[in-house]
Amino acid sequence: MSQLNEHISQLREDFMKGTLSESDISTIPFVVFEKWMQEAIHAKVNEVQAFHLSTVSKDGKPSGRILYLREFFDNHYYFYTNYESRKAIDISNNPFVSFTFFWPELERQIRMEGIIAIASKEKSDAYFNVRPTESQIGAWSSPQSKVIENRNILDAYVKDNTNKFENKDIPRPEHWGGYVFTAQYYEFWQGRKSRLHDRISFTKNGDAWKIARLAP
């Protein structure tokens, strides 16, 4: 353990791939997000759609997990999950959450804070209907975040639902669907040499966005 900790403590990476200035980015943060997403896709960033979702429970305990962004436009961001999961329970008690994207290939990070709500049934149905059949079966089969005795229990649920929906259109279960996140705060981070990183923030101020540079 001591050797591992020594190794970790000595890891160093000097960030040299870019700069970030108030003068060369849009004054609208979701336009910056779209541009950075396009650049990440062009750079073939691995799992470019993956982000860290942070929630807080009703008793103030934070929790985080990695999810996939499935759609975004203007200032709205969509993902899909089980409405009975731990994250969904947290959201039902406290709709304020944060998103974090990290793209090491570009030495970039994006943080967003805001409020989240259940997406429309039409939006959830549309996305569920284009999922692979195995994923649709999985949505019906997994009691997400619940304790199960062993893997065989889950396999049995999958088998039962596979038989149930054989040669049929699979409807979206009521306990599964989308969320839409509306950002009220953004921070764009570009790694720089000697840990003197560039950090530009956007804070919602009425109908406008207030831009500021943050110390690294």
In the DSSP assignment, the letter for residue 48 is: T
C-alpha count within 13 angstroms, C-beta hemisphere, residue 61: 6
Instruction: Evaluate whether 16 touches 198 at the Cβ level (below 8 Å).
Output: no
CA dihedral 13, 112, 47, 37 (to 10 degrees): -90
Identify which of 49, 55, 52 has the alpha carbon closest to the alpha carbon of residue 33: 49
Residue from 12, 65, 151, 195 carrying the catalytic annotation: 195
Please list the residues that pair with 82 across neighbouring strands.
176
SS3 category, 161: helix
Active site residue 65: no
The residues annotated with a catalytic role in the active site are: 195
